[in-house]
Structure 1
């Protein structure tokens, strides 16, 4: 084969290769949906409020890389956004690390009521227990109840159609809790009872979490689910997310 014939052969092979790549890429380049999903009307707003368990290291700006944090609100929102594209959902995370019920009450107008959520999920209470144990500006059980009830009343007065989802605070005997488990249990038990009673009184959805974590220790040790007795591990956040979706679906028919 002379030099001219070799060049022609190489050119033919290059052309053939490019054509094959083009044919393979074509379905991906042009496979747009014939009828995109319609997204008419105002979105349904779901707001997560609480402390560090909700916060999950979220950003406090509009950076969508981090805006939902790395905790159970992220898991819930990503799953429901993916599975229910047609339902025009909008999720917000306004949890702040270290918050007690009183802290939520102080910032409730801008961080909750002004967002006008359709569904408002609250998980708070363990920092109220921590404050008592560490004697760091503690509040009594009675004050906890008063502040939590004010939170609910403010919400239902300003947003009469809102659906409240009240999550039970929880602990496991590991980390800092293991140092004094009886004291932690003594302080969290009445607050868990208050949260459950308020949910019933104000017709809110109650998401039980303590028994979910306790039962999970039959499958793996406590520190597999919660690393310090208070803050969930990744599997613990998945546990909350699954329980939240299960209960809210049953009680509210959401998502439909």
Structure 2
């Protein structure tokens, strides 16, 4: 092999390596190219897991609730004071995707967040298991898609984050584990697919909780199979920050 050919191959390998490093890769936060501006609005949407007992007034001692959204806001606020992020929590206990839709304008679009994080699905799963109309997996997907489409149309620059709904075998969830697992796993797959469709960051909470449950009993992380213990909220906050890469 002559020197020129060897140099060409070395250069080609170098270019390929750089291309792989810079190429967007779903699920690999280190390769994402979005950047939030100073003073960015970060909004958390969802059900009771996000709600976290938040206040409905301007009392900043309680306005973020006491769950993962609070932990994320606390940590990023402390570590990045120069960014002056503004955090909002609009989670509402018991909410399903249709519930989100009914308040989407006031609680999401009017706030015009720079980053919108959504976690929803466990109540939709419970509603389907109770045979309530309008809560099939297909409805979950189509209704969720409508919300995301509306958001992208009206707020095209907003970075989306989709959290995976999750459960662990504790309490009534454990008693009826096979049915719960079967129903929610379908929504987990749909949430992941929607994240790909809308170029959203996907946070695979279920895998992280499954891994954690190998280190300590499931009830150590999620007290009733749905709602996290303090350690579970800390897990969520850490994995969210890792995935979103702020």
TM over 0.5: yes
Counterpart in the other structure of 2:206:
210
Secondary structure (helix, strand or coil) at the match of 2:60 reads coil
Matches within 5 A, 1:42-53: 43-53=39-49
1:134, distance to aligned residue in structure 2 (A): 2.6
1:65, distance to aligned residue in structure 2 (A): 1.5
Secondary structure (helix, strand or coil) at the match of 1:107 reads helix
TM-score (norm 2): 0.83
Counterpart in the other structure of 1:244:
240
1:127, distance to aligned residue in structure 2 (A): 0.3
Q: Which of 57, 64, 83 is residue 68 of structure 1 equivalent to?
A: 64
Matched, 1:235 2:235: no
Aligned equivalents of 1:134 and 1:176: distance in 2?
Answer: 14
Secondary structure (helix, strand or coil) at the match of 1:169 reads coil
Greater radius of gyration (CA): 1
RMSD: 1.1
* Structure with bigger RCO (C-alpha 8 Å, 6+ apart): 2
Secondary structure (helix, strand or coil) at the match of 1:122 reads strand
Matched, 1:93 2:89: yes
Matches within 5 A, 1:124-203: 124-137=120-133, 139-203=135-199
The question of whether the paired residues in 2 share the 8 Å contact of 1:49 and 1:120 is answered with: yes
Aligned equivalents of 2:152 and 2:134: distance in 1?
Answer: 27
Q: Which of 210, 217, 220 is residue 221 of structure 1 equivalent to?
A: 217
Structure 1 unaligned residues grouped into runs of 5+: 1-40
TM-score (norm 1): 0.80
Secondary structure (helix, strand or coil) at the match of 1:48 reads strand
The question of whether the paired residues in 2 share the 8 Å contact of 1:128 and 1:138 is answered with: no
Aligned equivalents of 2:101 and 2:125: distance in 1?
Answer: 17
Structure 2 unaligned residues grouped into runs of 5+: 1-36
Structure 1 stretches of at least 4 aligned residues deviating more than 6 Å after TM superposition:
none
The question of whether the paired residues in 1 share the 8 Å contact of 2:52 and 2:66 is answered with: yes
1:138, distance to aligned residue in structure 2 (A): 5.2
Aligned equivalents of 1:147 and 1:66: distance in 2?
Answer: 31
Aligned equivalents of 2:171 and 2:238: distance in 1?
Answer: 24
